[in-house]
Amino acid sequence: MINVTKTYLPPIEEYIHLLYGVWDRVHLTNNGPLALELEKQLKDYLGVKHLFFVSNGTIALQIAIKALDLKGEIITTPFSYVATTSSIVWENCKPKFVDIEPDSFTIDADKIESAINENTSAIMATHVFGIPCNVNKIKAIAEKHNLKVIYDAAHSFGVNYYDTSVFNYGDIATASFHATKLFHTVEGGAIVTNDDDLAHKISYMKSFGHKGQESFWGVGINGKNSEVHAAMGLCLLSKMPDVIQERKKLSEYYDTLLAPLMSKVYRPVIPGDTEYNYAYYPVVFESEEKLLQVRDSLNASFIYPRRYFYPSLNTLNYISDQPAPVSEGISSKILCLPLYNGLNEREIEQITTIIAAAIKY
């Protein structure tokens, strides 16, 4: 069986070594030493000022919305994982969808300004598949209209844009450290900001609002993470350059084998000045019919790609009708092919051979 992804794990001895310390200290959560050390190492690795290790990427988005005190409408993308939209709705705001660029699949910054009205409080954009948004244009629009900017950077660990981490863009950027992600802590996420005042608020918000044991700064939620999860992150962080390099080689092999099919399929365009992380390998087919033929042919050989992202979020049953034709079209025709550390060239050859046969059928 070849799945769309496979969790990368460190040598178990390294993980157990850190767990011995957890057992000795009997300090499992509430800002334990491993969680604090992971935050420090992540800040150094990413080159960011403030980073908070939280329980998952969705709670990171929800806390970001609360910390920025957002109300009314939040302009966002219809092409992302459902958490991008559901976090907005969960926090009693309304998602206002702006369609995506047909080449990068990120929010079309040229269409944002026309979606702004008196109820707009922020822009929440996603660096889809780790492909950076047009951060400079979004920043200019946000400053002109006094809007906050949140970047959902769940796919973007290790991505640099204009020689800095993508986590340095926006008022807040969020990460997912779920087990399917490039860098993971089994379950987890992070909130990143370079704003001291926001960091102060977030530090309380993520831990029930506690200010010591007997008083509270204000309203908060349980967003903190544990020592057991932090241990996994500490084992993996130093391995990330090698992990990314292996995925780059696998992606380039896919590129070589799929090159003869590029009149029938296409790939997203990564902008210049991007140091990419090769977290995903998405392919767009000519039609949904062709996608389903390819998917079914792969499934018959126990190969399981994923329709990622499908459906387009503007079509969710709890969203008011907001057409996004580019997103809807790409969403119906895109498939993420298997890509993970440990996948080998023979398996990629098998996958691409099946795709070629299905396309020609």
Q: What is the pLDDT of residues 182-241, one digit of tens each?
A: 999 999 999 999 999 999 999 999 998 888 788 888 889 999 999 999 999 999 999 999
Kindly state the percentage of the chain with pLDDT values over 70.
100
Residue 181 pLDDT grade (very low, low, confident, very high; cuts 50, 70, 90): very high
pLDDT for residue 347: 98
**Is the pLDDT confidence value at 173 over 80?**
yes
- For residue 181, give the nearest of 205, 213, 215, 158 by alpha carbon: 158
Q: What is the pLDDT of residues 22-79, one digit of tens each?
A: 999 999 999 999 999 999 999 999 999 999 999 999 999 999 999 999 999 999 999 9
Kindly state the percentage of the chain with pLDDT values over 90.
96
- Whether the CB-CB separation of 59 and 224 falls below 8 Å is answered with no
> What is the pLDDT averaged over residues 326-334?
98
pLDDT for residue 323: 96
The region that residue 186 occupies, defined by phi over 0 for left and psi between -120 and 50 for alpha, beta otherwise, is left
For residues 335 and 350, give the distance between their C-alpha atoms in angstroms, rounded to a whole number. Answer: 16
**Is the pLDDT confidence value at 361 over 80?**
no
**Is the pLDDT confidence value at 273 over 80?**
yes
- Whether the CB-CB separation of 240 and 183 falls below 8 Å is answered with yes
Return mean pLDDT, the chain: 97
pLDDT for residue 209: 84
Per-domain residue ranges of the chain: 2-237, 240-360
> What is the pLDDT averaged over residues 326-336?
98
> What is the pLDDT averaged over residues 87-99?
98
Q: What is the pLDDT of residues 150-160, one digit of tens each?
A: 999 999 999 99
pLDDT for residue 214: 80
- Domain 2-237 CATH (choose: 3.40.140.10, 3.20.20.20, 3.30.565.10, 3.40.640.10): 3.40.640.10
Fold category of 240-360 in CATH: Aspartate Aminotransferase, domain 1 (3.90.1150)
Q: Is the bond preceding 309 in cis, omega lying within 30 degrees of 0?
A: yes
- Whether the CB-CB separation of 146 and 122 falls below 8 Å is answered with no
Nearest-10 crossing angle of helices 12-25, 227-237: 140
pLDDT for residue 215: 82
Compute, in degrees rounded to 10, the torsion defined by CA atoms 270, 6, 46, 132: 20
Residue 107 pLDDT grade (very low, low, confident, very high; cuts 50, 70, 90): very high
240-360 shares the fold of 2-237: no
**Is the pLDDT confidence value at 4 over 90?**
yes
